[in-house]
C-alpha cells in the first residue's frame, strides 16, 4: 500500500466529527463501541435552495482562502506548507472545466491526492453556498455585465431554463459554452455568432441566475451626501452638522434635478460592542486595551474581504467595551485582547441589513493552571505503517477534553514533548500536529494553552520504531485513556491480553485489521506485539461517500512538525512499491504544477521543516516528473 494512503487513512479515521468508522457488516461491535458521527453525504447532487453568495464568501475566507488564496489563485498562506501545488480554482482555465456538482463532491469528501480535507462542519446548503462563491471567482463584474446584455438581447425567454438548479449543478462553463454555441433539444443556438470571449461572458452571467438574489441595499437619494465611513475616529459634531446642512440645501432655480433616484449602499452611524467575561477572580487590568478589526467586501467580489479599520479602546471595569463606528451591511468585525500573557479573540460577527448596533460574541477569560490532571483522554487511535524494511511508523491520534473551569497551561520540555502524552517505549518521537477539527490551542512562549471547550482537542503524535520480526509495543498512559483502537495493515496481527480483534475494516479501498482495548488507567500501559507482513490488498466496493480526511497543519502550537514535512520524510521509503511509481507519473497535471511544487519544496527546506535527505529525494522526483511532462 502506498504510504501516502496509509497516512491519509490513519488521519482520516478519527478527526473528531470528521470520522467515519463503520465496521464491516459481518463484524459484531465490541460492548463499549460508540458509533461515530457519520460523514456527510453528497445529497441529491444539486442545492435545495439557491446558493447564497454572501454566505459562501464568508465561509470561503475562513475555510478555503488559507490554501486557495482570497482570489482562488492557490497562493494562500498555508499553500507553501503543502507538498503539492494548490489548484488555482480562480483561473478560468480551471473553473471552466468543472461543474458545481463536482466541486461540491470535493468539498464534501475531500481530495486526498491534493491534501484537501472534507468540510464536515458545513451543512449541505453551506457547502453549496461556498461552491457557488468559488465559481464566481473566475468571472469579473464587467464580464458578467457583458454576458447579461447579450443574453437579454438574444435569449431573454431562456431565464427559467437556466434557473433550474438540478440542470445547472451538472453543467460546467464549457458545457454552457457548447449549449450557447450549438443549442440543445430545448434551446436554440442563440450564441452561434458570439465570439469565444462573449460566449464565456454569457455562460458566466447564466451561472448567476442560480444564485440567491443579494440582500436589498440601503436606499439613499443622490441629493444626499453620505457621511464618509470612520477610519481612526468618528466625525465631530460640527463636521456632522456641516455635512447634514450641505445635504439639506434646497436647489435653486436652474439647478439640475436628477431624473431618478440612485440606489447606493451607505454606511450608517453605529456601535460595535462586546463583553469580556472575566472568570479569573481577579480584576482586569485598569489599562486593558482591546483591538477592533473590521473587514469589508468592497465593490469587487473577486478580491475577498479587505481590512478597513483597526481601532483600539480601553476595556471598562465590568469587562464591557464599545466602539463608535459607521457600519454597513455585510461588514465583518472581531476583537482581540491579551490578558495574563494569553491572546484571546472573539468570534466574528457580520452586519445585517439595516443594523446600526453590532454585539460581538463574548470573550471568556478563565483562570489558569499548570495542573493538567484535569484533562481527559477520551480515546486513542494508533495506526501503524510497516511498509519500510527498516522502521515502523506510528501515528497516535488523541482526542482530549478539558472539562474543567480553568485554562490549562502546557509547558513543552527541551525535547518539545507534550508532558501528558507518551510515545511508545523505545520509539523515536518525530513531533506533534493538531487535527484540523481540534478546539483552538492558544500559543504561549513555553508551549500552548487549552481553555475549557465543548469541542475536543485533537493531537497526533508521530513516532518511529526499529522494525523487527516481532515488534513489541508498550504504550504508557500518563493520563487515563477512555479506550484504544489499533489499525494495522491487512496481514498484520496484534497479540495482547486486553485486545479484542474486531476484524477487517475497509477504508478507502484498503483493508485494516482493527483491534480494540478497554480504558487504560493512569500510570498503566497497553502492551502488545505486532507480527506478520502487510498485504497489498484492497477492499471491495467501498461506499462512495467514505471520508477522505487528511490534516492540514494549522500552526496552533508553533512547535509542531508540519504534516507536509512528515509526509515527505516518510514517503521516500516506499519507492520499491510497483504502483507508487505508476501513480507518481500522474501526480501533476502540467509543468507549471511541477514548478509550483518545486518552489514550495524549496521554501519548506529553507524553513527547516524537512530533512536534507527528504528534500534531495523529493526534488529528484520532481525533476524526473518535469522531464516526463516536457
Cα–Cα distances (Å) from 83 to 86, 88, 158, 293, in that order, read: 9, 15, 45, 33
2.60.40.10, 3.20.20.210, 3.40.50.720, 2.40.160.20: CATH of 263-352: 2.60.40.10
Which pLDDT does position 606 carry in this prediction?
A: 63
Of residues 56 and 573, the one with the higher pLDDT is 56
**How many whole angstroms separate alpha carbon 458 and alpha carbon 541?**
30
Judged against a pLDDT cut of 70, whether residue 561 lies above it is answered with no
Contact 121, 108 (CB under 8 A): no
**How many whole angstroms separate alpha carbon 459 and alpha carbon 434?**
5
**How many whole angstroms separate alpha carbon 551 and alpha carbon 418?**
19
What grid cell was written down for 324? 463608535
Q: pLDDT tens digits for 331-385?
A: 888 899 999 888 888 888 888 888 899 999 999 999 999 999 999 999 999 988 8
Identify the CA nearest to 530 among candidates 333, 393, 627: 393
Q: For the chain, what percent of residues have pLDDT higher than 90?
A: 32
Cα–Cα distances (Å) from 273 to 232, 314, 324, 572, in that order, read: 16, 12, 9, 53
Helix (H, G, I), strand (E, B) or coil at 157: helix
Which pLDDT does position 330 carry in this prediction?
A: 77
> Residue 404: which residues within 8 A CB-CB, separation 6 or more?
374, 452
Judged against a pLDDT cut of 90, whether residue 1 lies above it is answered with no
| E-strand stretches of 496-583 | 500-507, 510-517, 525-532
Judged against a pLDDT cut of 90, whether residue 220 lies above it is answered with no
**How many whole angstroms separate alpha carbon 79 and alpha carbon 599?**
11
CB-count exposure of residue 497 (10 Å: 0-12, 13-18, 19+): exposed
Model confidence band, residue 577 (pLDDT cutoffs 50, 70, 90): very low
CATH fold of 141-208, please?
Cytochrome Bc1 Complex; Chain D, domain 2 (1.10.760)
Which pLDDT does position 582 carry in this prediction?
A: 42
Identify the CA nearest to 498 among candidates 476, 477, 522, 517: 517
> Residue 172: which residues within 8 A CB-CB, separation 6 or more?
96, 97, 98, 99, 102
Judged against a pLDDT cut of 50, whether residue 243 lies above it is answered with no
Choice among 159-173, 288-302, 427-441, 593-607 with the minimum mean pLDDT: 593-607
Mean pLDDT of 312-337: 91
Which pLDDT does position 298 carry in this prediction?
A: 55
Mean pLDDT of 204-228: 64
Q: What's the CATH class of domain 53-136?
A: mainly alpha
**How many whole angstroms separate alpha carbon 443 and alpha carbon 429?**
21
**How many whole angstroms separate alpha carbon 89 and alpha carbon 74?**
7
Q: pLDDT tens digits for 3-58?
A: 334 444 444 433 333 333 222 223 333 444 333 334 455 667 889 999 999 999 99
Choice among 191-200, 281-290, 428-437 with the minimum mean pLDDT: 428-437
β pairing state of 357-359 and 349-350 = unpaired
Choice among 80-84, 228-232, 459-463, 602-606 with the minimum mean pLDDT: 228-232
Q: pLDDT tens digits for 158-167?
A: 898 898 999 9
Mean pLDDT of 552-575: 32
> What H or E segment, with its residue span, contains residue 294?
strand 289-296
The model carries a pTM of 0.49
Mean pLDDT of 613-628: 72
Contact 331, 305 (CB under 8 A): no
Judged against a pLDDT cut of 80, whether residue 232 lies above it is answered with no
Instruction: Using the Cα atoms of residue 404, residue 409, residue 413 and residue 417 in order, give the sign of their dihedral.
Output: positive
Average pLDDT of the chain is 74
Find the helix packing angle between 612-629 and 591-606, rounded to 10°: 170
Of residues 53 and 270, the one with the higher pLDDT is 53
Extents of the domains making up the chain: 3-9+370-572, 53-136, 141-208, 263-352, 585-629
Identify the CA nearest to 105 among candidates 151, 165, 41: 41
What grid cell was written down for 297? 467586501
What grid cell was written down for 310? 483597526
Do 3-9+370-572 and 263-352 have matching folds?
Answer: yes
Model confidence band, residue 500 (pLDDT cutoffs 50, 70, 90): very high
> What H or E segment, with its residue span, contains residue 142?
helix 141-154
Q: pLDDT tens digits for 390-437?
A: 888 888 889 999 999 999 999 887 666 889 998 898 888 777 877 766
Of residues 580 and 163, the one with the higher pLDDT is 163
**How many whole angstroms separate alpha carbon 225 and alpha carbon 588?**
55
How many Cα neighbours within 13 Å face the side chain of 4? 20
**How many whole angstroms separate alpha carbon 276 and alpha carbon 319?**
5
β pairing state of 510-517 and 484-489 = antiparallel
**How many whole angstroms separate alpha carbon 145 and alpha carbon 125?**
27
Which pLDDT does position 332 carry in this prediction?
A: 84
Q: pLDDT tens digits for 538-547?
A: 433 333 222 2
Which pLDDT does position 66 carry in this prediction?
A: 87
**How many whole angstroms separate alpha carbon 345 and alpha carbon 497?**
47
Which pLDDT does position 630 carry in this prediction?
A: 59
Cα–Cα distances (Å) from 264 to 222, 244, 328, in that order, read: 8, 18, 11
CATH number of 3-9+370-572: 2.60.40
Query: What does the buried/exposed string (b/e) look like for 215-242 if buried means 16 or more CB atoms within 10 Å of the residue's CB?
Result: eeebebeeebeebebbeeebeeeeeeee
Of residues 8 and 599, the one with the higher pLDDT is 599
Judged against a pLDDT cut of 50, whether residue 262 lies above it is answered with no
Which pLDDT does position 484 carry in this prediction?
A: 93
What grid cell was written down for 355? 443594523
Backbone angles phi, psi at 81, to 5 degrees: -90, 0
How many Cα neighbours within 13 Å face the side chain of 629? 18
Which pLDDT does position 340 carry in this prediction?
A: 87
Radius of gyration of the chain measured on its C-alpha atoms: 28
Q: pLDDT tens digits for 452-495?
A: 988 899 888 888 888 888 999 999 999 999 999 999 988 899 99
**How many whole angstroms separate alpha carbon 325 and alpha carbon 268?**
9
**How many whole angstroms separate alpha carbon 551 and alpha carbon 112?**
10
Instruction: Using the Cα atoms of residue 236, residue 239, residue 243 and residue 244 in order, give the sign of their dihedral.
Output: positive
Dmax over CA atoms of the chain, in Å, equals 101
Identify the CA nearest to 336 among candidates 291, 278, 288, 271: 291
DSSP structure string for 195-245:
-HHHHHHHHHHHHHTTSPPPPPPPP--TTS-PPPPPSSSPPPHHHHHHHHH
Of residues 430 and 514, the one with the higher pLDDT is 514
Cα–Cα distances (Å) from 120 to 117, 127, 348, in that order, read: 9, 9, 20
Q: pLDDT tens digits for 85-94?
A: 788 888 887 8
Which pLDDT does position 608 carry in this prediction?
A: 58
Instruction: Using the Cα atoms of residue 95, residue 101, residue 107 and residue 109 in order, give the sign of their dihedral.
Output: negative
**How many whole angstroms separate alpha carbon 104 and alpha carbon 384?**
32
Amino acid at each position: 500500500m502506498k504510504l501516502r494512503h496509509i497516512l491519509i487513512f490513519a488521519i482520516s479515521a478519527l478527526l473528531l466529527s470528521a470520522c467515519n468508522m463503520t465496521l464491516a457488516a459481518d463484524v459484531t461491535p465490541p460492548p463499549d463501541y460508540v458509533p461515530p458521527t457519520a460523514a456527510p453525504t453528497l445529497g441529491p447532487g444539486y442545492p435545495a435552495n439557491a446558493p447564497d453568495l454572501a454566505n459562501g464568501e464568508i465561509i470561503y475566507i475562513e475555510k478555503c482562502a488559507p490554501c486557495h488564496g482570497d482570489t482562488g489563485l492557490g497562493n494562500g498562506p498555508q499553500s507553501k506548507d503543502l507538498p503539492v501545488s494548490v489548484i488555482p480554482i480562480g483561473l478560468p482555465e480551471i473553473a471552466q472545466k468543472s461543474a458545481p456538482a463536482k466541486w461540491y463532491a470535493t468539498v464534501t469528501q475531500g481530495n486526498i491526492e491534493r491534501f484537501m480535507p472534507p468540510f464536515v462542519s458545513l451543512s449541505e446548503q453551506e457547502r453549496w453556498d461556498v461552491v457557488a462563491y468559488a465559481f464566481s471567482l473566475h468571472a469579473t463584474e464587467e464580464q458578467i455585465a457583458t454576458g447579461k446584455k447579450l443574453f437579454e438581447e438574444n435569449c431573454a425567454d431562456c431565464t427559467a431554463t437556466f434557473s433550474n438548479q438540478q440542470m445547472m449543478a451538472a453543467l460546467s462553463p464549457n458545457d454552457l459554452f457548447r449549449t450557447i454555441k450549438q443549442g440543445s433539444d430545448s434551446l436554440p443556438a442563440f450564441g452561434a455568432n458570439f465570439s469565444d470571449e462573449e460566449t464565456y461572458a454569457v455562460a458566466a452571467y447564466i451561472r448567476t441566475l442560480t444564485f440567491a438574489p443579494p440582500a436589498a441595499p440601503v436606499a439613499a437619494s443622490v441629493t444626499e451626501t453620505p457621511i464618509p465611513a470612520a477610519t481612526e475616529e468618528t466625525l465631530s459634531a460640527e463636521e456632522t452638522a456641516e455635512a447634514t446642512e450641505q445635504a439639506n440645501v434646497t436647489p435653486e432655480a436652474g439647478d439640475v434635478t436628477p431624473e431618478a433616484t440612485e440606489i447606493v449602499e451607505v454606511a450608517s452611524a453605529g456601535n460595535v460592542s462586546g463583553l469580556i467575561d472575566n472568570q479569573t477572580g481577579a480584576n482586569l487590568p485598569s489599562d486593558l486595551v482591546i483591538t477592533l478589526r473590521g473587514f469589508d467586501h468592497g465593490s469587487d467580489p473577486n478580491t475577498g474581504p479587505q481590512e478597513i479599520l483597526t481601532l483600539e479602546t480601553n476595556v471598562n471595569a465590568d469587562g464591557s467595551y464599545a466602539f463608535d463606528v459607521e457600519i454597513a451591511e455585510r461588514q465583518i468585525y472581531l476583537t482581540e485582547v491579551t490578558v495574563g500573557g494569553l491572546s484571546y479573540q472573539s468570534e466574528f460577527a457580520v452586519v445585517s441589513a439595516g443594523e446600526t448596533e453590532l454585539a460581538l460574541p463574548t470573550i471568556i477569560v478563565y483562570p489558569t493552571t499548570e495542573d493538567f490532571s484535569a484533562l481527559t483522554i477520551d480515546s486513542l487511535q494508533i495506526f501503524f505503517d510497516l511498509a519500510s524494511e527498516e522502521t515502523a511508523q506510528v501515528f497516535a491520534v488523541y482526542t482530549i477534553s478539558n472539562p474543567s473551569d480553568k485554562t490549562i497551561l502546557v509547558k513543552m520540555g527541551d525535547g518539545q514533548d507534550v508532558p501528558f502524552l507518551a510515545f511508545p517505549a523505545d520509539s523515536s518521537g518525530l513531533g506533534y500536529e493538531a487535527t484540523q477539527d481540534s478546539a483552538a490551542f492558544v500559543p504561549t512562549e513555553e508551549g500552548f494553552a487549552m481553555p475549557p471547550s465543548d469541542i475536543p482537542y485533537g493531537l497526533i503524535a508521530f513516532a518511529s520504531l526499529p522494525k523487527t520480526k516481532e515488534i513489541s509495543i508498550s504504550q504508557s498512559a500518563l493520563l487515563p485513556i477512555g479506550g484504544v483502537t489499533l489499525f494495522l495493515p491487512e496481514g498484520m496481527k496484534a497479540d495482547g491480553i486486553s485486545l479484542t480483534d474486531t476484524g477487517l475494516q475497509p477504508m478507502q479501498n484498503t483493508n485494516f485489521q482493527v483491534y480494540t482495548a478497554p480504558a487504560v488507567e493512569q500510570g498503566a500501559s497497553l502492551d502488545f506485539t505486532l507480527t506478520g507482513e502487510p498485504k497489498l490488498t484492497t477492499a471491495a466496493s467501498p461506499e462512495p461517500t467514505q471520508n477522505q480526511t487528511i490534516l492540514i497543519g494549522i500552526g496552533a502550537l508553533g512547535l509542531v512538525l508540519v504534516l507536509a514535512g512528515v509526509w515527505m520524510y516518510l514517503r521516500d521509503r516506499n519507492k520499491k512499491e510497483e504502483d507508487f511509481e505508476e501513480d507518481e507519473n500522474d501526480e501533476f497535471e502540467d509543468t507549471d504544477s511541477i514548478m509550483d511544487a518545486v518552489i514550495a519544496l524549496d521554501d519548506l527546506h529553507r524553513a527547516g521543516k524537512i530533512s536534507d535527505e527528504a528534500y534531495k529525494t523529493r526534488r529528484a522526483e520532481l525533476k524526473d516528473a518535469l522531464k516526463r511532462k516536457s
